[in-house]
Chain A
Amino acid sequence: MERQTGEVLLEAKNVSLAFGGVKALSDVSFDIREGEVRAIIGPNGAGKSSMLNVINGVYHPQEGTITYRGVARRRMRPHEAASQGIARTFQNIALFKGMSVLDNILTGRNLMMRASVFEQMFYAGRGRREEIEHRVKAEEIIDFLQIQHVRKTPVGRLPYGLQKRVELARALAAQPRLLLLDEPMAGMSVEEKQDMCRFVLDVNDEFGTTIALIEHDMSVVMDISDRVMVLDYGRKIADGSPDEVRGNQTVIDAYLGVRH
């Protein structure tokens, strides 16, 4: 199935990032187009998470620029990224363990709440309208990701695979334009992975959300991505369609090692 992808949504140009003497990214350039599923893959320590953190403003690259929706910038803070429509999930789940699934998802809508503390406290006027509106949105996402049965369950009591799904739900609650997924299938069973693939594709399809994801599992990536960028030791070694990347000798060497 060929998906239509549009204009460039985000472009990274000659990005380099170093922590002291360690070069996490060197001179990486790539783009993410509107509506596509874009994968970043690579062996351990290749700089995948660093790249994601650069996009969403956690790290600030020493060199290079990020252009998002036509605006170039050097330093953007995570909450600015969030208000610009970038949401993400984390490699090691970052949910509020003691709060219910529903409440966790509602935190994803925090930036969209306009009512004052008092309006919210007394469930009056705008507070009431907003509450209903946000709850409807959260329930739609719960329905979409099929987590109705754990709606009221504290997140800490859920199995790992479900927690991952809740994290995706919270990211979706922000109605992002660009969704960053950091190893969404890590540590999952085969069936959980397939469910997650389905959900990622459905999000892309139903909401038109652009998705950039990092993943270890090659087969997963090849199945669901439109374009794949491969990093190795902080450098881009390949970029293209899954088929092009799969046949690329440099990539095979990076993954399987080279005989010396």
Chain B
Amino acid sequence: MSTGVPDTFAKLLLRNARERGARPAMREKDLGIWQTWTWAGAAAEVEALANGLAALGFHRGRALAIVGDNRPRLYWAMTAAQALGGFPVPLYQDCVAQEMIHVLADAEVEFAIVEDQEQVDKLLEILPQCPKLKHIVYDDPRGLRHYARPELVSYGALIERGRAFARSNPEHYRESIAAGDAADLAVMLYTSGTTGMPKGVAHTHAALIHTASVLRDFDGLTEADNIVSYLPMAWVGDFLYSYSQSLVCGLTLNCPESPETAMTDLREIGPTFCFGPPRVYEGILTQVMIRVEDAAWIKRRLFHAFMGIARRIGPRMLDGRPVGLLDRLLYGLGDLLVYGPLKNVLGLTRLNAAYTGGEAIGPDLFEFYRSLRVNLKQLYGMTETCVTVCMHPSGNVRPDTVGPPMPGVDVRIAESGEILVRSPGIMRGYHKNPGATAEAIDGEGYFHTGDAGYFDTDGQLKVIDRARDVGKLADGTLFAPRYIENKLKFFPHVKEAVAFGADKDRVTAFINIDLASVGNWAEKRNLPYTGYTDLASRAEVYGLVGECVAKVNRDLAADPRLANAQIHRFLILHKELDADDGELTRTRKVRRAFIADKYGVLVDALYAGALHCPVETQVRFEDGRTGIIRADLRIVEAEMAAPARVERAA
């Protein structure tokens, strides 16, 4: 086998087993206790699994679909596939069966490894449409005893077959790894598909390992670091930050007991590095605020008083700027009474670096963490670039930018305002889609992100919106819907927002309230409600949301370029936007065009000046059945602000 720097993930695994065999590679909470596998143990598991797959006929160039929550065995399956020269295709575990057909067919998947009965049922359901799929391996045998299907193999049976295979082919595993090349396909990740069918993004070992090495040096990650992997395995963020980092740095991956326990598990592990979309950080903050509001009077006062101090001093201390002695003492006291215990409860005590990306994050939310001296930073990137385009370096962090370009990444702004990226982390291409690849990567090797943005005076990148979504109102005012929606979503009461206005004379919006937050608010006011639809229709709730909209309008009015893009009218939707109904992508981004089409009646009513609009919507339950929600939605005028006077000083 080749010596020198390991250039594939399987070689990295062998290196880790050799150099740090006794250190923890993976932990999983099982029956209430954290179970640990060392690198040597993990390597043995991967070898057994790879032999099992080889016994089934898996070989070079093949795809292995992976469906389930973050489980050690599923991560090992990724390495096992790579060891044999194949590549994993992780799928979103909450996908409904029909959505999987496209991916399975597109990647020509013959082998799948899934977590449990739920996923097995889905694959069996679509088997007739996916004739290539021959083998389904399942981890948890529960409920599957009576499934007499030739395609099904239990994890245990697979390992057994692997042992038999290894006896007759003892060198197969090592030889396959040695034959692996850095230019081989390492993974195929399907984009969330804000528009059209998901596209398979093909990444090589070279691109991923290079990017993970850059990240390791950027934040000084070592084998002593701990990450809790709780994000969907199909997301590039998890593949890069959990899987790739663990192999490149030799750090420990911790798998939660179940998705619901992730927060408790986070606290028990106390990760040192963390990555997540804003909604994760938002969820934590919402929980904190709800619990603070329910706390005793004195605790509540203490919390608010010290958080005020923290907001003033914390970010400065974190950035290493000078802070007076008195302030230091005050902050120290706060640390003792509030910040320390709070961070401990949330599992943030040992965090060296936390990243947020994928969506814009609210300045209040961002400041909250930074005032606790949690080193929360932003990054910018997408599946096609192995994320990692721009990141905030520690000590130079701002809520409204995403940081300067990473080492080795070449970022250019096109004349149209679109952000272009060239780096070693750029994908090899879209799978079986040379047309789309040629469209995305130009002759000079620049990847066209489709995002509009510009560089700030100090070299930090600012991202405004998707380039194609940035439009104009009828009077020529700049209309950046995502910018407006994000401003709305920064309020804890607003969960989702959809802004309309391109080529119209005014801006209008749909709003989804946050059931937890508004529900709590309603309880405090003794406002009874039966469910989301009922709560959303309350006049009081309209008042509450109206205040949020008015504040956004004041913000918009302050910017002369956007003053005319204030929200004139809005309504609160009768149902929560849901990925199962196609309204959000699996990464929870709103599909604006789809929504505008589906709720065309409502959009028309917003512009027609109607005061209410009856609507009937089909919803899909988790089990795939459908039902109808009917409501008569109220439409209200928003409070507008006077535009700021244009300053002529500049």
Which positions in A face B, CB cutoff 8 Å?
Answer: 1, 135-136, 139-140, 142-144, 146, 148-149, 151, 190-191, 194, 198, 201-202, 205-206
Contacts and interface: CB of A to CB of B under 8 A. Distances in A.
A1 B258 CA distance: 30
Contacts of A143: 30-31
B260 A148 contact: yes
Contact of B32 (A139, A190, A191, A201): A139
Given A139-B31, A151-B32, A191-B623, A205 B257 contact: no
B143 A202 contact: yes
A194 B260 contact: no
B258 A146 contact: yes
Contacts of B145: 205-206
B261 A191 contact: no
B261 A149 contact: yes
A201 B143 CA distance: 8
Contacts of A198: 143
B297 interface: no
A202 B30 CA distance: 20
B142 A140 contact: no
B146 A1 contact: yes
Given A142-B32, A191-B621, A205 B146 contact: yes
Nearest to A135: B32
A123 to B, nearest CB: 17
Contacts of B143: 198, 201-202, 205-206
14 contacts: A139-B32, A142-B31, A143-B31, A144-B142, A146-B258, A148-B257, A149-B257, A149-B264, A190-B621, A198-B143, A202-B143, A205-B146, A206-B142, A206-B143
Contact of B622 (A144, A191, A206): A191
Contacts of B258: 146, 148-149
A13 B261 CA distance: 49
A135 B31 CA distance: 9
Contacts, number: 38
B623 A194 contact: yes
A191 B620 CA distance: 12
B439 to A, nearest CB: 42
B631 to A, nearest CB: 19
Nearest to B258: A148
Interface of B: 30-32, 142-143, 145-146, 257-258, 260-261, 264, 621-623
A194 B145 CA distance: 20
Given A144-B142, A148-B32, 14 more contacts: A135-B32, A139-B31, A139-B32, A140-B31, A142-B31, A143-B30, A148-B257, A148-B260, A148-B261, A149-B258, A151-B32, A198-B143, A205-B145, A206-B142
A202 B142 contact: yes
Q: Is the interface of B mostly helix, strand, loop or mixed?
A: loop
Contacts of B257: 148-149
B31 to A, nearest CB: 4
**The 8 A-B residue pairs with the shortest CB-CB distance in the complex, in nearest-first order:** A149-B260, A139-B31, A149-B261, A148-B257, A139-B32, A148-B258, A148-B261, A202-B143
Contacts of A151: 32
A141 to B, nearest CB: 10
Contacts of A202: 142-143
A142 B260 CA distance: 13
Contacts of A190: 621
A206 B143 CA distance: 7
A194 B143 CA distance: 15
Contacts of B31: 136, 139-140, 142-143
A156 to B, nearest CB: 15
A116 to B, nearest CB: 26
Nearest to A140: B31
A202 B31 CA distance: 18
Contacts of B32: 135, 139, 142, 148, 151
B256 to A, nearest CB: 9
Contacts of A144: 142
Nearest to A202: B143
Contacts of A201: 143
Contacts of B623: 191, 194
A147 B209 CA distance: 38
Nearest to B531: A189
B139 to A, nearest CB: 13
A195 to B, nearest CB: 10
A189 B425 CA distance: 47
Nearest to B622: A191
A127 B618 CA distance: 57
Contacts of A149: 257-258, 260-261, 264
A140 B32 CA distance: 9
Nearest to B262: A149
Contacts of B30: 143
Nearest to A150: B260
B161 to A, nearest CB: 24
A202 B141 CA distance: 11
A140 B258 CA distance: 14
A103 to B, nearest CB: 13
Nearest to A199: B143
Contacts of B261: 148-149
B501 to A, nearest CB: 37
Contacts of B260: 148-149
**Which of A135, A143, A191, A198 has the largest count of B CB atoms less than 10 A from its CB?**
A143
A37 to B, nearest CB: 14
B33 to A, nearest CB: 8
B597 to A, nearest CB: 28
Nearest to B33: A139
Contacts of A191: 621-623
Contacts of B142: 144, 202, 206
A193 to B, nearest CB: 11
Nearest to B118: A198
Contacts of A140: 31
Contacts of B622: 191
B383 to A, nearest CB: 30
A143 B32 CA distance: 9
Nearest to A201: B143
A211 B623 CA distance: 25
Nearest to B625: A190
A117 B623 CA distance: 48
A194 B624 CA distance: 12
B419 to A, nearest CB: 40
A194 B118 CA distance: 13
Nearest to B264: A149
Contacts of A206: 142-143, 145
Nearest to B263: A149
B32 to A, nearest CB: 5
A142 B30 CA distance: 11
Contacts of A205: 143, 145-146
Nearest to B29: A148
A38 B542 CA distance: 50
A142 B143 CA distance: 16
Nearest to A137: B31
